[in-house]
C-alpha cells in the first residue's frame, strides 16, 4: 500500500516546525511546533500531544549521533532520488532480532531522501521517499498555523500520584542492546480510562 504526503519543515527563531499532510485518502495532518505535536483529524477535531517526537525521517538524525553496536554501517555506492544525486548506505544488523535499513543521503545537503526497512532477506517492508524536494523554501510560522476546529482534546499525562503509576510492565527477555523506554500513562479526557504504553528500543 502506498500513501503520499506533503512535508514542510523549517527552523524559525530557533524553533523547529513541521507539517505532514496526507494527500490521498482521508485528510489527516500532523503539525509540530517546537515540542508541541498536534494531530488534525478528518472530522475537524484535533488532539494535542505535548512531547518531543521525531519526524518520519528521524532515523537519519539518530544514526548521525550514535549507532548501536548491534549494527554495521556500510557505504553502498551512488544513487538518485527525486532527481538528486545521492549516496546509498546500508545499516546491517549483526543478529536476527532486528531489522536492517537502506538509506539514500542527498550529496548536496546530506538530507535523508529515502529510507527502507528491510528484513533478513533484504526485502523492503516499509519505504519513505521524497519524490520532489525544494530546499530553502520561504516558509513562515503562518505555514504551520493551527486551523479553527470543532472540538479539541488533550492526551494529558497522568500525575505521578495517580494509582495507575503503581502498575509496571517488565519483559522476561530482550535481545542484546534493547532497553525499556517511554513507559507512559495518558488519559484522553476525564471520562475515559487511562491507557498505558511501554516501548523498547535498541537506540
R_g of the chain, CA atoms, integer Å: 19
* In a shared domain, residues 110 and 167: no
* In a shared domain, residues 75 and 14: yes
* In a shared domain, residues 165 and 124: no
Least confident among 31-35, 139-143, 157-161, 173-177? 157-161
* In a shared domain, residues 68 and 167: no
Number of domains in the chain: 2
The verdict on residue 150 lying in a domain is no
* In a shared domain, residues 61 and 10: yes
* In a shared domain, residues 119 and 196: no
Grid coordinates representing 51? 512531547
The verdict on residue 24 lying in a domain is yes
* In a shared domain, residues 79 and 114: yes
* In a shared domain, residues 73 and 118: yes
Q: Tell me: the pLDDT tens digits for 48-93?
A: 775 554 444 555 555 555 667 888 999 999 999 999 999 999 999 9
Q: 45-70 b/e with 16+ CB inside 10 Å = b?
A: ebbbbeeeeebebebbeebeeeebeb
- Boundary (domain end) residue, out of 97, 118, 144: 144
pTM beyond 0.85, yes or no = no
Flag whether pLDDT at 152 surpasses 50: yes
> Do 102 and 89 meet the contact criterion of CB atoms below 8 Å apart?
yes
Q: Which residues contact 170 (CB under 8 A, 6 or more apart)?
A: 180
CA distance 77 to 92: 15
* In a shared domain, residues 113 and 160: no
Residue 178: give the domain boundaries. Answer: 156-201
% pLDDT > 70, the chain: 74
Q: Given pLDDT bands bounded at 50, 70 and 90, which one contains residue 154?
A: low
Q: How many CA atoms lie within 13 A of 186 on its CB side?
A: 15
Amino acid at each position: 500500500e502506498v500513501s503520499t504526503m506533503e512535508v514542510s519543515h523549517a527552523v524559525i527563531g530557533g524553533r523547529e516546525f513541521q507539517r505532514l499532510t496526507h494527500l490521498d485518502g482521508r485528510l489527516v495532518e500532523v503539525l509540530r511546533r517546537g515540542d508541541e505535536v498536534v494531530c488534525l483529524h478528518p472530522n475537524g477535531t484535533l488532539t494535542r500531544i505535548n512531547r518531543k517526537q521525531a519526524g518520519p525521517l528521524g532515523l537519519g538524525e539518530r544514526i548521525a549521533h550514535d549507532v548501536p553496536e548491534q549494527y554495521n554501517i556500510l557505504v553502498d555506492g551512488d544513487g538518485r532520488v527525486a532527481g538528486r544525486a545521492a549516496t546509498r548506505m546500508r545499516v546491517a544488523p549483526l543478529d536476527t532480532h532486528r531489522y536492517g535499513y537502506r538509506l539514500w543521503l542527498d550529496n548536496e545537503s546530506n538530507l535523508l531522501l529515502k529510507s527502507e526497512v528491510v528484513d533478513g532477506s533484504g526485502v523492503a517492508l516499509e519505504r519513505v521517499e521524497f519524490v520532489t524536494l525544494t530546499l530553502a523554501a520561504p516558509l513562515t510560522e503562518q505555514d504551520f498555523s493551527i486551523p479553527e476546529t470543532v472540538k479539541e482534546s488533550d492526551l494529558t499525562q497522568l500525575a505521578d500520584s495517580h494509582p495507575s503509576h503503581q502498575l509496571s510492565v517488565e519483559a522476561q527477555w530482550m535481545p542484546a542492546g534493547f532497553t525499556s523506554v517511554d513507559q507512559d500513562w495518558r488519559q484522553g479526557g476525564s471520562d475515559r480510562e487511562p491507557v498505558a504504553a511501554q516501548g523498547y528500543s535498541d537506540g
